[in-house]
Amino acid sequence: MQNWIIVISSFISAGATIALVWIAIVQLGGIKEQIKQDSNQDRRRNTLEACQRFEKDPFIKDAMKRLWNVTVNGTDYTKLTDEYKFEALTLLNYLQSLAIGIKQKVYLEEMVKDFLQERVEKEVKVLIKGESGKGWNATKTLNASYYDNV
């Protein structure tokens, strides 16, 4: 009779152990999912803050304002001279920091595109490539003068 009780208690103990292991696995999976969600939320928050710097950062705003004024409200970039090199580099450095953040998975690429794609494309065309576009003129000689001494 005692052997019977030992066998039953062993099965109950084994069943309880299996149940506890299963519960632990389920909870660890839930914790992993929560950490992943928190990480994604942090990336969204970081991306939003980085994108908002484009409109809120005083240095970027001042650089954009000076570039806007000298280019006749952003329509004639042929008027840019070396005098505005600092402003152009300030803006390009900001855009580069976004690109690095995307590459290192700090920022979400789709979110940055939603906020700034048109603006980034224009700044790259104008300040790096020296290309004209719809509604603005630029010149390739500007490109050379900006980056010869950088």
> How do residues 44-100 score in pLDDT, each as one tens digit?
999 999 999 998 999 999 999 998 898 888 888 887 888 888 898 899 999 999 999
In a domain, residue 17? The reply is no
pLDDT at residue 101 greater than cutoff 60: yes
The residue with tokens 């705003």 is 61
In a domain, residue 116? The reply is yes
In a domain, residue 127? The reply is yes
Q: Are 98 and 116 in contact (CB under 8 A)?
A: yes
In a domain, residue 120? The reply is yes
In a domain, residue 2? The reply is no
- The token duo for 91 is 């803006």
Number of domains in the chain: 1
The pLDDT value given to residue 150: 46
Helix (H, G, I), strand (E, B) or coil at 133: strand
Main-chain dihedrals φ then ψ at residue 62, nearest 5 degrees: -65, -45
- The token duo for 49 is 């803050």
Where does 2-150 have alpha helices with state H?
2-56, 58-70, 85-103, 109-123, 140-147
By percentage, how much of the chain surpasses pLDDT 70?
92
Containing structural domain, residue 73 = 44-147
In a domain, residue 35? The reply is no
Q: Which residues contact 112 (CB under 8 A, 6 or more apart)?
A: 47, 50, 51, 98, 102
In a domain, residue 25? The reply is no
In a domain, residue 38? The reply is no
- The token duo for 134 is 């719809």
Region of poorest pLDDT, from 23-27, 70-74, 77-81, 138-142: 138-142
